[in-house]
Amino acid sequence: MRHVADRAGVSYQTVSRVINDADGVAPETRERVLAAMRDLNYRPSVAARSLARARTDTIGLVLPFPVDVTFANAHFLQTVGGVDRVVAENDYSLLVSSPNDEDPALSAHRRMVRQRAVDGVIVEAGMGDEGIELLVEAGYPVVAIGHVAAAVPSVQPDDESGAYSATQHLLALGHRRIALIAGSTPGNLAQQARLRGCKRAGTDAGQPLDEDLIATGEFSLESGHDAAARLFDRDVPPTAVLAFNDAMAIGAMQLLRERGIDVPHEVSVVGFDDTPTASLLTPSLTTVRIFSSELGQRAARTLIGMLRGTKVPPVPAVLPSQLVVRQSTAPARRD
Amino acid sequence: MRHVADRAGVSYQTVSRVINDADGVAPETRERVLAAMRDLNYRPSVAARSLARARTDTIGLVLPFPVDVTFANAHFLQTVGGVDRVVAENDYSLLVSSPNDEDPALSAHRRMVRQRAVDGVIVEAGMGDEGIELLVEAGYPVVAIGHVAAAVPSVQPDDESGAYSATQHLLALGHRRIALIAGSTPGNLAQQARLRGCKRAGTDAGQPLDEDLIATGEFSLESGHDAAARLFDRDVPPTAVLAFNDAMAIGAMQLLRERGIDVPHEVSVVGFDDTPTASLLTPSLTTVRIFSSELGQRAARTLIGMLRGTKVPPVPAVLPSQLVVRQSTAPARRD
DNA sequence: GCGCCTCTCGTGAACGGTCACATGACTTGC
DNA sequence: GCAAGTCATGTGACCGTTCACGAGAGGCGC
């Protein structure tokens, strides 16, 4: 920087002003400085700037699983897509941290804390919340995406009402034996909310769900396939399946096709997420939309707002979810 | 840091030594310093450290598309998964940059250059190579994943021979009307290599491929579906389809199922990538394995090696690809 | 008892910027 | 014509580390 200043015949402070687009610099001087910067192929050092300004203009993103696992899930994918977009728009950088195998619960957060390299952190809920506490204790502004117990601002889909309306839809179609393909981690709060929604819809309709018809999967296509296999091996198989994400719903549809069971005339299938592919399947998938990208965008905006000193309402921002009825659901056949 | 030093009754330099695990500090002193660090909840500032050491221990990752688009592609997903793993193992951080809509070709690289926040950059090939030149000019060590024209170290799958053996496999099964679902960006070098491999296999066997049977897609499931629709609308449809990634192959299989065309007995389908789902489909997909995760790991190791001063062979590291024969290919029926 | 070496620790400068304030030239108002 | 108020620029200190030295304490050999 000093070199640039010399070459342009000004002081380093003036160079600094030019870099930061501060006013109070004569247009002609500015030009001279810019020229010198070009000539010397000069680039400011973020490290020095961060040090002096006590901020890094970087936002940390903590993932619940390794990169390849996390992004294999369409919901997380969309979510992070939204974050990425907003972050880039606001000239922040994105530093990602994912857990390693040794300490899946906390390593991603730990690494983020150890490196004091970000101004704030966005956490994808999915694992426990101890990690969030860790970040908060370390003094970071934190925004969570999804349901968290920790007292940090969060944006979350309305899982409960989404699950409620999906179940209601199936009940209205006359289905009585409704199977659920839930997640296998009962501690997960989103999972709990969805389950709550399903059950409430059942009891509200005077048709409580059969607990025996709740299978679990890992949110992957294969696990949905396998869970469905278990469900349809039963003596009295279900007439409808509600999976807690689209991938598992698609897996279930695969199994049904293998077994020659027609969707939707013999069995109805509902997913969760409204993945882009959901609408492209045949039959296209009835599913609960949760606006994942929007969720990510809001989280990023909220965090950036916090960094810029805006007040943030302490209540979680809940985005309504929405049932999208397509071809994979139909009235139950009379037994 | 000064505070810690005071509290431990030593100088700041000694604290620095403890932080960096340098020797020449008495065990008892070390303990005292560590205790003080804990008491004061002290965390070193990366910014200051980066400034003083002139490195950031951060590696940049430049994606060819926005996050959600890039990671929807299984190959990129695996690749970055590999990078992430190695980066974390070596205590580096990962800073990701993806293009924005205004300047898809260069914005990701530009942002990376502007922020002088990384020690080196890994670039996922996919877009043009000007961006790489930009990074090199800015003085960054760069490693590319995939085929690039720029003179930087790269790791790449052996696309040509993979495509060659896939085509050869189909020819050996007696197929004569082999359709290709290629990418729609002819400038892409990986694409060119695959095309070259296919054509060479054809001519080597005395059965040059029919140029009219080359459709294009966007590497998505839907585009594969649509490309297949165009191919099978022809008067004389192909008897085999070779798609340039698994997603498009799966899309093609979907179309065939819709039209009641049996795979593999009526039409054989081959994919590219060996996505995890490929083996789980029915029929399971014959595909070309390209070890994406391994590719990412190597790229990361290469870059870290460069940063640590290891010499890097200037030739691109080529990982052999490998045809995995499953159920979606079968001998051609006699016409 | 002296010089020398090793171990442990401290000091000053530098890294490359930003911030708060000071300074000088030129307008403006009366 | 002079005080006061802009505008443009320069100066010194500081951000929190690391690096290259230097220096004191203790052990050893002779």
Residues from chain A that touch B137, judged by Cβ atoms under 8 A, are 41
B286 in the same domain as B164: yes
B183 in the same domain as B122: no
Rounded mean pLDDT of chain B?
A: 91
Any domain includes A152:
yes
Q: Where are the alpha helices (DSSP H) in A180-263?
A: 189-204, 221-232, 246-258
Query: What local confidence, expressed as pLDDT, does residue B99 receive?
Result: 92
Q: Which residue among B68, B93, B98 places its CB closest to the CB of A88? A: B98
Average pLDDT over residues A189-213: 95
A129 in the same domain as A96: yes
Rounded mean pLDDT of chain A?
A: 91
Q: Residue A118 is part of a domain; what is its CATH number?
A: 3.40.50.2300
Residues from chain B that touch A58, judged by Cβ atoms under 8 A, are 95, 117
Average pLDDT over residues A211-232: 94
Verify if strand D has an atom below 7 Å from the CB of B49. Answer: yes
Q: Which residue among A45, A83, A221 places its CB closest to the CB of B116? A: A45
Any domain includes A202:
yes
Any domain includes A313:
yes
Give the integer Cα–Cα distance in Å for A125 and A18: 41
Q: Which residue among B51, B69, B95 places its CB closest to the CB of A45? A: B51
A71 in the same domain as A130: yes
Query: What local confidence, expressed as pLDDT, does residue B335 receive?
Result: 59
Any domain includes A315:
yes
Token digits for A296? 């990510």
User: How many contacts does A have with B, using Cβ atoms within 8 A?
Assistant: 140
A30 in the same domain as A125: no
B217 in the same domain as B152: no
| Lowest-confidence pick of A68-72, A105-109, A158-162 | A105-109
Per-residue pLDDT reduced to its tens digit, A136-182? 988 899 999 999 888 899 999 999 999 999 999 999 999 999 999 99
Residue B137 — φ and ψ, nearest 5°? -60, -35
Q: Which of A331-335, B143-147, B280-284 has the highest mean pLDDT?
A: B143-147
Pick the residue with more confidence: A166 or B52? A166
A235 in the same domain as A86: no
Distance, angstroms, CA B24 to C1' C6?
Answer: 11
Q: Which residue among B72, B80, B293 places its CB closest to the CB of A77? A: B72
3-state secondary structure A136-163: HHCCCCEEEECCCCCCCCEEEECHHHHH
Q: Residue B25 is part of a domain; what is its CATH number?
A: 1.10.260.40
A302 in the same domain as A235: no
Residues from chain A that touch B114, judged by Cβ atoms under 8 A, are 43
Distance from CA of B244 to the nearest CA of A (A): 19
Q: Which nucleotides of C are covered by protein (CB under 7 A)?
A: 7-12, 14-20
B178 in the same domain as B233: yes
Any domain includes B15:
yes
pLDDT above 90 covers a percentage of chain A that reads: 61
Among all protein residues, pick the one whose CA is nearest to the C1' atom of D12.
A13
Any domain includes A329:
no
Q: Which residue among A47, A48, A258 places its CB closest to the CB of B282? A: A258
Residues from chain B that touch A282, judged by Cβ atoms under 8 A, are 254, 258
| Lowest-confidence pick of A36-50, A75-89, A165-179 | A36-50
Per-residue pLDDT reduced to its tens digit, B240-276? 999 999 999 999 998 998 899 999 999 999 999 998 8
Q: How many CB atoms lie within 10 A of CB A334?
A: 5
Residue B251 sits at the vertex; the CA angle it makes with A294 and B62, to the nearest 5 degrees, is 50
CB A221 to CB B280 under 8 A?
yes
Among all protein residues, pick the one whose CA is nearest to the C1' atom of C10.
B11
Strand partners of residue A215: A181
pLDDT above 90 covers a percentage of chain B that reads: 62
Per-residue pLDDT reduced to its tens digit, B12-22? 888 898 888 88
Per-residue pLDDT reduced to its tens digit, A257-296? 889 999 999 999 999 999 888 887 889 999 999 999 999 9
Which of chain A's residues 41-100 bind strand D, using a 7 Å CB cutoff? 48, 51-52, 54
Best of B93, B135, B223, B262 to disrupt the A interface (most A CBs within 10 Å) is B93
Any domain includes B163:
yes
Tell me the residue range of the domain where B194 lies.
Answer: 159-290
CB A96 to CB B84 under 8 A?
yes
Average pLDDT over residues A17-27: 85
Nucleotide nearest to A3 (CA to C1'): C16
B192 in the same domain as B276: yes
A169 in the same domain as A146: no
DSSP state of B275: -
Q: What is the phi-psi region of residue B20: left when phi exceeds 0, alpha when psi lies from -120 to 50, beta otherwise?
A: alpha
Question: Is there a contact between A280 and A307 (Cβ–Cβ < 8 Å)?
Answer: no
Residue B158 — φ and ψ, nearest 5°? -85, 80
Distance from CA of B140 to the nearest CA of A (A): 12
Distance from CA of B296 to the nearest CA of A (A): 11
A218 in the same domain as A74: no
Question: Is there a contact between A324 and A291 (Cβ–Cβ < 8 Å)?
Answer: no
At B56, the amino acid letter reads T
Any domain includes A286:
yes
DSSP string, A293-308: HHHHHHHHHHHHHHHT
Is residue A130 predicted with pLDDT exceeding 90?
Answer: no
Distance, angstroms, CA B35 to C1' D26?
Answer: 27
Work out how many domains chain A is built from and give that number.
3
